[in-house]
Amino acid sequence: MFQGIVGHSLALRLLARALNTGRIAHAYLFVGPSGVGKTKIARAAATAIVGGAERAEASLHPDIREVYPQGSSLRLSQIKELTRDVLLAPVLAKRKVYILHNVEKFTAEAANSFLTTLEEPPAGTVFFLLADRPGVTSTIVSRCQVLRFGFLTVAETVLVLKRTSSQTAELEAAARLSFGSPGEALRLLEPGVLEQQREMVALTQCFMEMTGAEKLNRMASLEEKKDDIHAYITFFALWMRDMLCLKLALNECLALPYREEIEAQARRLDLNVITSRLMHLQELLTRWSPGTNKRLVLDQLFMALK
């Protein structure tokens, strides 16, 4: 039932055992980073529960329904509609399955409304709740069987890419840069993305050597790339992280495929300086939101790398 799925052996064993014995929980919560296979596994499990694999895999089975956030949230109106649908009998199968994406994005009202259904679901109803990060309401978590998903290894990510991407070059580079998220790796393989990475390498190499005045001038040019600022800060953080790994002799943990360039800079910087810069960059990324003032971010980036 889970043929072709790479990694996550513990979660797959637990699900397979439940499906084979018929002891299926009424609600499962999948928690783990985006792009590692949670959706694929939920759909495969839903297919096994309702039967009729061909229809389910094509997302056509009438007893499988998926719910995505509207905009930035899962909204009360969506949960009210789901609640009405839950009360209807299955069309073809003996069970109905609902896959809810990004449940960490429930509004407070939607979460409270859904909790009522989750506490006393109609017989034969199974929920798969998917979350990309922590933040799911504790009352919902307590009523689910929680399965945690981590990143894949580089080798596992490359294997997924070979099966899903028509590209043959840059697979390992994309796998490393994605930190083991095949979904993110596929995004990196889109036209122009890795080329942007190479531009970032050139900028990072020269940026670390600039004077304060030169850095301020470069910040002004970055302000014109408002949509790319988050990507640049992420790359700076990855570069600094790899410098730290090299300082600590953790060579096998490198994420970026630019060891020689990073090593050359790491030799010239003190460990405390690298650590301080990395912490500043991580703080910037942690506080990031779509409405973040980009000019303020660039000022903070300058302070982090001065």
Q: What CATH number has the domain bearing residue 253?
A: 1.20.272
d(CA 114, CA 83): 8
Token pair belonging to 220: 């002004």
Query: Does 120 map to a domain?
Result: yes
Nearest to 2 by CA among 50, 37, 33, 28: 37
CATH number at residue 69: 3.40.50.300
Q: Given this model, what pLDDT does residue 302 score?
A: 67
Contacts of 60 (CB under 8 A, 6+ apart): none
pLDDT (average), residues 47-52? 83
Q: What is the DSSP letter of 257?
A: S
207 and 125, same domain (yes or no): no
Summarize the confidence of residues 192-199 as an average pLDDT. 74
Flag whether pLDDT at 224 surpasses 70: no
User: Closest by alpha carbon to 170, among 260, 263, 257?
Assistant: 257
pTM assigned to the model: 0.72
Q: Is residue 99 part of a domain?
A: yes
Residues 6+ apart with CB under 8 A from 133: 31, 33, 104
> Residue 211: inside a domain, yes or no?
yes
Q: Do residues 16 and 138 both lie within one domain?
A: yes
Signed CA dihedral, 264, 265, 266, 268: sign only: positive
What six digits make up the tokens of 186?
Answer: 């596929």
* Residue whose C-alpha is closest to residue 64's, from 128, 19, 5, 123: 128
pLDDT confidence band for 54 (50 / 70 / 90)? very low
Mode of pairing for the β-strands spanning 125-131 and 27-31: parallel
- Order across the sheet with 64-67: list the strands: 64-67, 96-100, 125-131, 27-31, 145-148
pLDDT at res. 251: 82
The answer on 247 and 127 residing in a single domain is no
The residue that leads in pLDDT, 28 or 257, is 28
Burial classification of residue 131, based on how many CB atoms lie within 10 Å of its CB (0-12 exposed, 13-18 middle, 19 or more buried): buried
- On whether residue 63 sits in a domain, the answer given is yes
Q: And the tokens for 197?
A: 């990475």
Most confident of 52-66, 265-279, 283-297: 265-279
Number of domains in the chain: 2
Select the highest-mean-pLDDT range: 29-33, 152-156, 220-224. 29-33
Q: Given this model, what pLDDT does residue 84 score? A: 93
Give the pLDDT score at 259: 83
Q: Which two tokens stand for residue 72?
A: 């930035």
pLDDT in tens, 246-264: 989 888 788 777 788 888 8
pLDDT band (50, 70, 90) for residue 144: very high
Beta bridge partners of 125: 96
* Domain range for 246: 191-305
pLDDT number for residue 132? 87
Flag whether pLDDT at 306 surpasses 80. no
Q: What is the mean pLDDT of the chain?
A: 83
18 and 141 housed in the same domain: yes
CA gap 1, 17 in Å, rounded: 11
The reply to whether 178 falls in a domain is no
Residue 27: per-residue pLDDT: 94
Residue 268 pLDDT grade (very low, low, confident, very high; cuts 50, 70, 90): confident
Gap between the Cα atoms of 74 and 76, Å rounded: 7
Q: Given pLDDT bands bounded at 50, 70 and 90, which one contains residue 68?
A: very high
Looking at 8-12, 131-135, 228-232, which range is the least confident one?
228-232
Q: DSSP letters of 146-179?
A: EEE--PPPHHHHHHHHHHH-S--SSHHHHHHHTT
Q: In this predicted model, what pLDDT tens digit does every residue of 6-21 receive, in sequence order?
A: 888 899 999 999 999 9
List the beta bridge partners of residue 131.
Answer: 31
